[in-house]
Amino acid sequence: MLEASHRYFHHAADVLGLSDKIRSILLTPRRVVKVEIVAEADDGSLLHHTGFRVQHNNARGPCKGGLRYHPTMDEDHASALANLMTWKTAIVDVPYGGAKGGIDCDPSTMSRFEVERVTRAFIEQIREVIGPNLDIPAPDVNTNADIMAWIMDEYSKYYGFSPAVVTGKPLHLFGSVGREEATGRGVMYALDEALQDQGRGMEGTTVAMQGFGNVGSHAARLIAERGGKLVAVADHLGAVAKEDGLDVPALFAYGREHRTVKGFPGGEPFDGGDVITWKADVLIPAALEDAITAENAGDVQAGIVVEGANAPTTPEADVILAEKGVTVVPDILANAGGVTVSYFEWAQNIQQFRWELDRVVKELEKTMRRAYGAVRDVAKEKEVDLRTAAFVLAIQRVGRAGLSRRSVREEIDLS
């Protein structure tokens, strides 16, 4: 996975003509932490897990990035995702660097109390390297507001009241209105911009989606509110489709209750693997990485892919999509709404001041549309696709900040 994100980086670095030395400075993570977690299970036995936190770059501010609880979590995943966070925070121009981490556990097989004990044991181990001005975790796959609350509580035991150490907290515990749906809302704005580029609107646009968790479900709800039609959706347990559009509010409620779209009565079940090649105007991968691969990319029917998930397209698939003329709105732009509202939450915590929802929504929309516009401008100027343009813009911003903080004995043109 790390190799894939590096390939995208190098492609943009080639466009900028960066030396090997500067590439190495920009790609090397500043800190990689791996800890062994031992916590008590409900039956008195011991749970053993490994926790990771990779802080990739902090030239533009404290490190920022989610925590993922998943059996596949390892150093490679944490490093690749931390790397993406550095570029993502630069694209939406929030004052952060990039980080990512998590634990190689499967919360679906654990009790709430076990998840809490494992979380607290993890924070106890990494507390010295996180903090409001150092590194601020947030939710990602299989982590949520409850877990963020435990992190705030555990950290505050050592350092005093510190709500700004973590974002994505519950609303009643210094969370921000609009944070839960922020990534999905940002995906919707990114899609709207891509459609406008093609002289089209959201009304009547058909969408196929993989993943109906935090990102997917909110994106689907907001797209449907603007007249888009969700024609197929798949999650890890099942999939449903309806040619003239699923009833998204009903599906949203069903998904909240059953934690899956499987069995939703308002559509026909199908093999979820087919969602990537479903007949629709737009494909939104919003589950895990490597969803669009060399095997299925050639059969993608959508003309626009908006990457709600992180790293859902392999580099080989990206080439195939480009050859087919598919517009890909890359993850580091499309799903940056989450970190943007995390920044609003952090700013509110530091100021001890609460924003109203309309302010959050307005600022998020402004940030996403401005970021999309900046990426589009680079794409036009350098005659590259949106992904390469996004990396070019991000490398310029991170590189300039790094160079202003510390001189390098080398002439570098980051224009």
> Contact letters (x/-) for ligand NAD, 264-283, by CB under 6 A?
--------x-----------
State the alpha helices, DSSP H only, in 98-176. 112-126, 145-159
Catalytic residue among 64, 88, 100, 169: 100
Query: Look-up: residue for tokens 């791996």?
Result: 34
Question: With binding defined as CB under 6 A, does residue 309 bind ligand NAD?
Answer: yes
Q: How far is the CB of 288 from ligand NAD (least distance, A)?
A: 5
Is residue 243 a contact partner of residue 267, using CB atoms and an 8 Å limit? no
Is residue 290 a contact partner of residue 309, using CB atoms and an 8 Å limit? no
Q: How far apart are CA 144 and CA 155, in angstroms?
A: 17
Question: Which is closer to ligand NAD, CB of 12 or CB of 209?
Answer: 209
Number of other residues whose CB lies within 10 A of the CB of residue 3: 9
Question: With binding defined as CB under 6 A, does residue 236 bind ligand NAD?
Answer: yes
> Contact letters (x/-) for ligand NAD, 61-90, by CB under 6 A?
------------------------------
Q: How far is the CB of 255 from ligand NAD (least distance, A)?
A: 8
Question: Which is closer to ligand NAD, CB of 178 or CB of 213?
Answer: 213
Count Cβ neighbours within 10 Å for each residue of 315-337 and write b for 16 or more, e otherwise. bebbebbeeeebbbbbbbbbbbb
Q: How far is the CB of 338 from ligand NAD (least distance, A)?
A: 3
Q: How far apart are CA 336 and CA 186, in angstroms?
A: 7
Q: Can you tell me which of 65, 163, 308, 399 binds ligand NAD, judged by CB under 6 A?
A: 308
Question: With binding defined as CB under 6 A, does residue 252 bind ligand NAD?
Answer: no
Q: Can you tell me which of 98, 338, 399, 402 binds ligand NAD, judged by CB under 6 A?
A: 338
100 belongs to the catalytic site:
yes
Q: How far is the CB of 10 from ligand NAD (least distance, A)?
A: 22
Q: How far is the CB of 65 from ligand NAD (least distance, A)?
A: 9
CB-closest chain residue to ligand NAD: 213
Question: With binding defined as CB under 6 A, does residue 210 bind ligand NAD?
Answer: yes
Question: With binding defined as CB under 6 A, does residue 307 bind ligand NAD?
Answer: no
Question: With binding defined as CB under 6 A, does residue 335 bind ligand NAD?
Answer: yes
Longest Cα–Cα distance in the chain:
64
Q: How far apart are CA 6 and CA 109, in angstroms?
A: 34
The torsion angles phi and psi of 327, rounded to 5 degrees, stand at: -85, 120
Angle at 260 between CA 257 and CA 263, to 5 degrees: 90
Q: Which two tokens stand for residue 400?
A: 């300039």
Residues found near ligand NAD in the complex (CB under 6 A)? 139-142, 183, 210-216, 234-236, 272, 286-288, 308-310, 335, 338
